A = this chain, B = another copy of it.
Amino acid sequence: MTLRQDIHSSGIPVPCLSCEARRRGVCGALEPDDLAQLAKTSSRHNIEPGVELIGDAEAVDCYSNVLSGVVKLTKSLSDGRQQIVGLQFAPDFLGRPFKMKSAINAEAATAVSLCSFPRAAIERMMKQSPEFVHRLLKQALNELDEAREWMVTLGRKTAPEKVASFLLMIARNIDSNVDPAAMSACFELPMTRADISDFLGITNETVSRQLTSLRMDGVIRIENNRRVTVDSMSRLERRCGGRGAIAV
């Protein structure tokens, strides 16, 4: 009864109540009315690792919130060389407004759950809720910052620095319960060595070598290929190359 009343008074659709996308994602911009309208057309999906979500040069007919898991965004050259140009974690918004065709490929790196909306529903929401567009802008600018951060890594860091930077980034994104100042962290890598190499612009052999090098030096422990423990975050940080921004 209390529950029903809560729902009634707040007007927030039940599946949205505990959704991360409402707390930190784009849905946080929406009034209960808008949210209810959007929720009517939404659908949840559980995706297996490796499944392609958006094909390159494919028409985009839906947008999604990432609720859990990791999605990798890739671009490929015609001779097969591939580059991962972004990773999306919950509660990121997946999809490219204003473009009919996607120029990138989205694929589930881990098991992923999505909350998907038809294209038209998102477009309507963009028309009727300025705050929603505002949120989309914020997310786009964050992704832009991240992309540029990785451009520095791709263009100017050595292989050891690249791998260290990658581990640090994953540690900070995957395990949100680990606070940034923590001494150590333990987590599952969300992708294979080959994926990591496509992310860092190096070969999987080099990734492997750098990981064993970090292991030999006692910076990390590798439990079973995927599971990694960082014993000393500060030592890992020191291997990421110079600080991103020049100290003031």
Interface, chain A (partner B; CB < 8 A): 56-57, 73, 75-83, 85-86, 96-99, 103-104, 126, 130, 133-134, 136-138, 140-141, 143-145, 147-152, 154-157, 198, 200-201, 241-248
Nearest B residue (CB) for A58: B248
Top 9 nearest A-B pairs (CB, nearest first) are A155-B201, A77-B242, A78-B242, A130-B130, A85-B148, A154-B154, A147-B147, A140-B140, A79-B242
Name the B residues within 8 Å of A73 (CB-CB): 148
CB <8 Å contact, B145 and A143: no
Oligomeric state, in number of copies?
A: 2
Name the B residues within 8 Å of A140 (CB-CB): 137, 140-141, 144
CB <8 Å contact, B141 and A86: no
Name the B residues within 8 Å of A147 (CB-CB): 144, 147-148, 151
Known contacts A83-B155, A143-B144, A155-B201: does B150 contact A75 (CB below 8 Å)? no
Nearest B residue (CB) for A80: B242
Known contacts A103-B145, A200-B155: does B133 contact A77 (CB below 8 Å)? no
CB <8 Å contact, B57 and A156: no
CB <8 Å contact, A141 and B96: yes
13 A-B residue pairs with CB within 8 Å: A57-B245, A57-B246, A57-B248, A73-B148, A75-B149, A75-B244, A77-B156, A77-B157, A81-B156, A83-B156, A130-B133, A151-B151, A154-B201
User: A180 → chain B, closest Cβ, in Å?
Assistant: 17
User: A182 → chain B, closest Cβ, in Å?
Assistant: 23
CB <8 Å contact, B97 and A201: no
Name the B residues within 8 Å of A201 (CB-CB): 154-156
User: A94 → chain B, closest Cβ, in Å?
Assistant: 13
CA distance A80 to B242 in the complex (A): 8
CA distance A156 to B78 in the complex (A): 12
CA distance A242 to B149 in the complex (A): 25
CA distance A75 to B76 in the complex (A): 25
Name the B residues within 8 Å of A79 (CB-CB): 241-242
CB <8 Å contact, B154 and A151: yes
CA distance A209 to B73 in the complex (A): 33
